Structure 1
Amino acid sequence: MDLSSEIYHALLPAFITVTLGLPVLALGAIDGIAEATASFAKLASGRLSDRSGKRKPWVLLGYGLAALSKPLFPIAQGALELMGARFADRVGKGIRGAPRDAIIADETPPEMRGRAFGLRQALDTVGALIAPIAAVGLMFLFVENIRSVFWIAAIPAALSFLLALSAVKEPTIHRDSDKPQPFFRGFRDLDKATRRLLAVAFLFSLARFSEGFLILRALDVGVSAALSPLALVVFNLGFLALAYPAGSLSDRIAPRSVLMIGIAILILADLTLSQDLGLPGLVLGILLWGAHMAFTQGIFARMIADVAPNHLRATSFGAFYFVSGVGTLLASLAAGLLWDREGASATFLAGAGAAAAALAMLNLLGETRPSPGR
């Protein structure tokens, strides 16, 4: 699914501005509305999964909605049709996220959760790494006919839904009561350890603005517009190379220690990117940015799985994705304003400061250990 979605994502700016002839503002509006809605979908689907005692139906709904959205892109003739397609795609992603991670946590022994989430992150990143290359190849094959490329890119999405339908099994969930609890009660019932971890995740996300700023930094250093997307390839290489090793490390030492390493790497990446070190410094900074993702995203998921009770696991994942999404949105808005007013250096220095605050807060957080039955 990620391979399919990332091909659309890579070509969407050109499709909006060249094929449809819409202003750049349309790209920001379409993506902003879609991503904001996806954050709420993640929050709701996690709670609904726990409330119903089911995981697979929500995973299938998410994959199915995303797969059905793909053919809407090549037939779109204007902003409204495209917004509908993007909305359905992102909501589908939001719906499947929390129940999918809950299945991983439900089916994986606590001592192997780091590796499991590291593998999931690595596979996600493979799709993100291959997609831009595939998009370029398909554009050459179809003589820059983006609509034709979109039709081909819909095939992996359909296959992912069929794979989820046939291969994913419904896990057994131990619930405190057979009677469904009120929707909002699950959020109120999250324990102190989970709430503290969510607070750290939110503060950390304020330091993690959009990867689009890596492309802007590449342009700022002097990389041409045609080559600037390669910044994301470098980013994904750093992410992919370390995602599984970082997850495996969290199975051998305290996950909090691994997460602290990840935040420290982000601080180092921001400090590197804040300086005028030329192309070598740019590549190093972007690689470090990818490395910090490997040491944080899967580790946060593993820690959520450790502290959340079984019957509130998807709710906890949904809350995690929601606070992270909101924090990243706020960080990106603030980074954009700071970039326009003070420049790239101040933006990355501010990111380093926010990451340092998250590191200090994490240092005060007690170690997370799986409770019996989790």
Structure 2
Amino acid sequence: MSETIEYSKSAPSLKSLPRNVWAVGFTSLLMDISSEMVLNILPLFLSNVLGVQTSIIGLIDGVAEATASILKLFSGWLSDKLGERKWLAVVGYGLSAITKPFFYIASSWGLIAGVRWADRVGKGIRTAPRDALVADSTPKEMRGLAFGFNRAMDKGGAFLGLLIAALVVWMTQSTTVELSKTTFQKIVLISLVPAFLAVLALAFGAKDVEINGKRAAPKFSFRSLGKPFQIFLVIVSVFTLGNSADSFLVLRAQNLGISVTGILIMLACYNLVITVVATPAGSLSDRIGRRRLIIGGWLVYAAIYFGFAIAHNAWQVWLLYMAYGLYFGLAFGTANAMVADLVPENLRGTAYGTYNAVIGLLAFPASFIAGILWQGIGAWNGFGPSAPFFFGGTLALMAALLMAFWMPKPDLKNSL
């Protein structure tokens, strides 16, 4: 079932956001309550319970994201061809929900990798159609607000999920530094409820949108997305190569003596910062342009990663994590909104698929490189815990400079 969108000319506000944006927002809230409970402690389970090296942890994260990336590209193109976003997104959320129980029985890193892969396949199916649905449902003058709101709901769910996980850890193993298998399994069981509620929220709350009549079936062509989008993608690729999985931030926190409960509370506060920052930052990008906020966010990111490299105390990690939330709130949703600014309406699914596919594919070398820099591979012992953060900070600075001096001007936020 489809509905035709009539754009309002009134001043953008949360009340004026379309129904689909709210439906996607609540779906993101619920799924992230579930996912963040499990995925943030997964590297601790792998390291503390199964004794897996950081290079393998990076490999698991990287392969999972890279495998899903091909599906992100295909599902985005398919949503353009079919003119339907909603049910592809529902299928993706559903797949992630039904894979979560298998974390409970996982007893080897190979099985964990398989479950992680299946979960990311679900994310690969849903991400591009979901983002395109938000873009289709929202006029350009409030697109930043819509994506900022969605990011806020997403991270609000992460905040709640982490608080629940922290409570479970505190009740079962108090302030013990290492995670136990029993605690991990209890958290997995609790995570199943919001995961399945998320699927229902999207299935019954959203509707596909038809804009300007029937969509033309697009050809699968990178060139058709245009030069500005291609340049943007190259710049994002430079940044992403240094943006290793957050598993390394978690391991760095434990490396400096923070307990499992402390890590979960710290991550909850980090997500709270994103929740507070993302919506006003998205709205600000509607007024001053996406580029400025993205550059600012990447500069903050570079400073944070350099800080993680030289940190020596737990309190320093706490401050850096709060600043990391500021980066995420400023740049992540804004970059998603910029994708819609740069391409025609009938190619948005393909564009989001391409954008997310490139990021996902680069997640493999980014995480694997970080793991090797930290702990080495084979007979080589690596450079230690600081190395991946120096590497990531340097590439973030390079990406910020490219965005400032290479991205076509004027800012393209109002080009469509």
For the aligned pair, the TM-score class normalised by the smaller chain equals 0.7 to 0.9
Q: Choose from 148, 155, 161 the match for 1:125.
A: 155
Equivalenced residues, count: 367
Q: Is the 8 A contact 1:218 1:231 kept in 2?
A: no
Aligned twin of 2:383: 342
1:173 Cα deviation after fit:
4.0
Structure 1 residue 251 corresponds to structure 2 residue 286 = yes
Q: Choose from 17, 30, 52 the match for 1:24.
A: 52
Structure 1 residue 112 corresponds to structure 2 residue 142 = yes
Letter in 2 for 1:250: S
Encode CA deviations 1:260-308: one digit per residue, 9 max, x unaligned: 1111111221233333463443322222222111111101101101111
Q: Which moved more, 1:222-231 or 1:199-208?
A: 222-231
Could you say which structure has the greater relative contact order, defined with CA pairs below 8 angstroms and 6 or more residues apart? Answer: 2
Q: Which moved more, 1:309-318 or 1:220-229?
A: 220-229
Q: Choose from 56, 70, 89 the match for 2:86.
A: 56
> Superposition pairs for residues 4-153 of structure 1, below 5 Å?
4-12=34-42, 22-24=50-52, 30-74=60-104, 82-138=112-168, 144=182, 146-147=184-185, 149-153=187-191
Letter in 1 for 2:120: R
Aligned twin of 1:369: 413
Aligned twin of 1:195: 230
Distance 1:348 1:13, change over 3 A: closer
Aligned twin of 2:396: 355
> Superposition pairs for residues 312-351 of structure 1, below 5 Å?
312-340=347-375, 341-351=382-392
Distance 1:328 1:88, change over 3 A: closer
Encode CA deviations 1:115-159: one digit per residue, 9 max, x unaligned: 111111111111222222212434677894654543332121111
What secondary structure sits across from 2:210 in the alignment?
Answer: coil
What secondary structure sits across from 1:117 in the alignment?
Answer: helix
- Distance across 2 between alignment mates of 1:8 and 1:352: 27
Structure 1 residue 281 corresponds to structure 2 residue 281 = no
Letter in 1 for 2:210: T
Structure 1 residue 291 corresponds to structure 2 residue 326 = yes
Aligned twin of 1:160: 198
What secondary structure sits across from 1:223 in the alignment?
Answer: coil
- Distance across 2 between alignment mates of 1:345 and 1:16: 21
Q: Is the 8 A contact 1:16 1:23 kept in 2?
A: yes
Letter in 1 for 2:395: A
Aligned twin of 1:172: 210
Q: Which moved more, 1:342-351 or 1:7-16?
A: 7-16
- Distance across 2 between alignment mates of 1:279 and 1:139: 19
- Distance across 2 between alignment mates of 1:342 and 1:17: 19
Encode CA deviations 1:2-30: one digit per residue, 9 max, x unaligned: 11122232454576678xx7552676665
- Note the residue ranges of structure 2 that are not aligned, 5 or more in a row: 1-30, 174-181, 376-381
1:31 Cα deviation after fit:
4.1
> Superposition pairs for residues 176-255 of structure 1, below 5 Å?
178=216, 180-182=217-219, 184-185=220-221, 187-224=222-259, 227-255=262-290
Letter in 1 for 2:73: L
Identity rate, percent: 37
- Distance across 2 between alignment mates of 1:12 and 1:221: 18
- Distance across 1 between alignment mates of 2:166 and 2:118: 25
Q: Choose from 238, 241, 264 the match for 2:299.
A: 264
1:221 Cα deviation after fit:
3.5
- Distance across 2 between alignment mates of 1:80 and 1:285: 32
Distance 1:24 1:155, change over 3 A: same
1:88 Cα deviation after fit:
2.6
1:50 Cα deviation after fit:
0.9
- Distance across 1 between alignment mates of 2:169 and 2:315: 30
- Distance across 2 between alignment mates of 1:4 and 1:140: 18
TM-score (norm 1): 0.87
What secondary structure sits across from 1:171 in the alignment?
Answer: strand
- Distance across 2 between alignment mates of 1:139 and 1:344: 26
1:316 Cα deviation after fit:
0.7
Letter in 1 for 2:339: I
Distance 1:105 1:181, change over 3 A: closer
Q: Which moved more, 1:43-52 or 1:324-333?
A: 324-333
Q: Is the 8 A contact 1:265 1:292 kept in 2?
A: yes
